[in-house]
Amino acid sequence: MNPPTVKTIADPGDSEWLFRLLHQISQLSQGALLSENERAAFDSARMRLIEVLRQCNDARKLLIELLAEHIEDVAEGRGVFVNEAGALIIEDDIVPRLNRAANGFFVPARTALYHLFGQKPVAGKRSVKSILEILTGFNFGFVFIFDSARFEQAAQNYISQAPGVRSKALIEVIRSDRDTWSLGLQEIRDTIIHDTEYDGLKMVYQANDIKVAIGFPRLNGKPILDFVEMYWNNLIDSIEEVIVLTLCTRMSPLLALDRIPQNEWDPTLPFRWRGILLDHPTP
């Protein structure tokens, strides 16, 4: 018998989001009325999603490390400096690495949403079911439609075929995410992949006597790291909430999932949701 393999998939700083998407979701899903095949498909799709999120997170951490190291190097007069003649010398041009790390974040972040919601079917190509399609039987690729009227039409079609307050709550969360960040993520990814006029992120340096001031790129007016952190937190929180709300649509009308107040969170067991029994069935 071969010995077991034990693999570390993240460092301690990533333990909370991984716990939420691995152990919390696994436990909460036990309350969903899923067939054996549905449960196996759900678990498999969730692990594929987590692997994409790991890629996204690795790129995020590479970006953080790159900028921190560059700040230190420039402060010490390495890589970018002012020479004796007063010229600004750039020996370490981090722009290619900067763009590679940023692109490495935004592209898989967009792919993660495909794993969650699904994609538009392509004729002649077998499509793998997304998490929501496994749980609901519907392809939620319509969430990527930019036109609000067309999105609302598709959303109402889903609600008409799956009536109830739980389906409506799921659509409300998706609609809010579209209005605040998810369509923006689509635009960024599409620009990176498809816009041949996109020139990438740029660095700005200014000589100040013998010192060099660094100007990092900004996106939508936010410093690049703040912007990436905002999207990372939105992505993780949204994926968790959407999966939880979708699981609710497959639960008994007398069982619901409720948010745990933040002041009751256990830092050693960071569950954010709990099951509750209702006095009356949910319509």
pLDDT (tens digit, 9 = 90+) per residue, 65-109? Answer: 999 999 999 999 999 999 988 899 999 999 999 999 999 999 999
pLDDT (tens digit, 9 = 90+) per residue, 169-198? Answer: 999 999 999 999 999 999 999 999 999 999
On whether the CB atoms of residues 16 and 270 are closer than 8 A, the answer is: yes
pLDDT (tens digit, 9 = 90+) per residue, 1-32? Answer: 677 765 666 676 778 899 999 999 999 999 99
DSSP-derived letter for residue 94 is -
pLDDT grade, residue 123 (50/70/90)? low
Mean pLDDT of the chain: 92
In 3D space, the residue among 103, 106, 108 whose CA is nearest the CA of residue 201 turns out to be: 103
Domain boundaries, the chain: 35-72+106-119+127-198+224-252
Q: Which amino acid is at 166?
A: R
Global pTM reads 0.92
The β-bridge partners of 258 are 274
